[in-house]
Amino acid sequence: MRKKLVVGNWKMNMTRGQASAAIESLLLLVDPNTEVEVAICPTYLTIETVSHLLRRSHFLYGAQNVFWMPSGAFTGSISATMLADAGCSFCIVGHSETRGRFGKLEVPESTLGYFSETDETINLKIKSLLYQSIRPILCVGETLAEREAGNTDSVIYDQVKGALAGIEPAEYYSGVVAYEPVWAIGTGKTCDSAEANRVCGVVRKAVAEILDADAAESVQILYGGSVKSGNAAELFSQSDIDGGLVGGASLDAEEFSKIVRSA
């Protein structure tokens, strides 16, 4: 039986002081529950602050991205070795925002080339994380144009296939995949729960075909994209949705605690 997993992705938010206040509130609001895994993925600069506050709690923590080389002349990058040294349990990879696929564009369109993640780099990142026993949270999702063209399933399959290429099935038994429709991220729009569950089923079938049936059964598949306390219970009750990757709502301790309780 797969445990529910709720992950807060703080994105580029929270100073160390704000992070401390948020975690202290969460620890008061969320009761320990061994049946639900809860994790926070803060910025690199607040990982130490978060880890210190969570050291005696049931919460886990992780990072929002990683570079695939263990060390070297890669200015501004952080390796999986460094994340392991910081005690990270998870790391998000392939988020639509690092792929340059925005539901709500908040940067000049001319700068989109800066966000140049590909299936190849995601694959390399996953392999580096697995080598350090850090659980990857692979993000997949379609744009509105791809959905309207009827290409949702093929886009999802291709993203899963590219990300998991050359990985042994047993290596990904503790891995995570998050289905985040690009058009629902930061827009306030949420995929209908039945459709979200259907696409998460597509993800599970893809993992079974690319890896094996055991991997597909053990992998936790999350839904992400404007998850709120008002829709979390319905989403989490679906057969193929094992929890949520929560963005904006994870910045509010009370709101995030309600989402966790829904799991």
Judge whether 95 counts as a catalytic residue: yes
In angstroms, what CA-CA distances link 2 with 147, 196, 200, 256?
A: 29, 18, 14, 21
Judge whether 255 counts as a catalytic residue: no
Task: Name the amino acid, one letter, at 157.
Answer: Y
If you ran DSSP here, which 8-state letter would residue 238 be given?
A: S
Task: Name the amino acid, one letter, at 39.
Answer: A
In the set 37, 95, 117, 146, the catalytic residue is: 95
Cα–Cα distance between 158 and 145 in angstroms, integer? 16
Cα–Cα distance between 91 and 256 in angstroms, integer? 19
Burial per residue of 229-241, b for 16 or more beta-carbon CB atoms within 10 angstroms, e otherwise: bebbebbbebebb
Beta strands at 4-9 and 243-246: parallel, antiparallel or unpaired: parallel
In the set 117, 142, 180, 255, the catalytic residue is: 180
- By annotation, the residues acting in catalysis are 95, 180
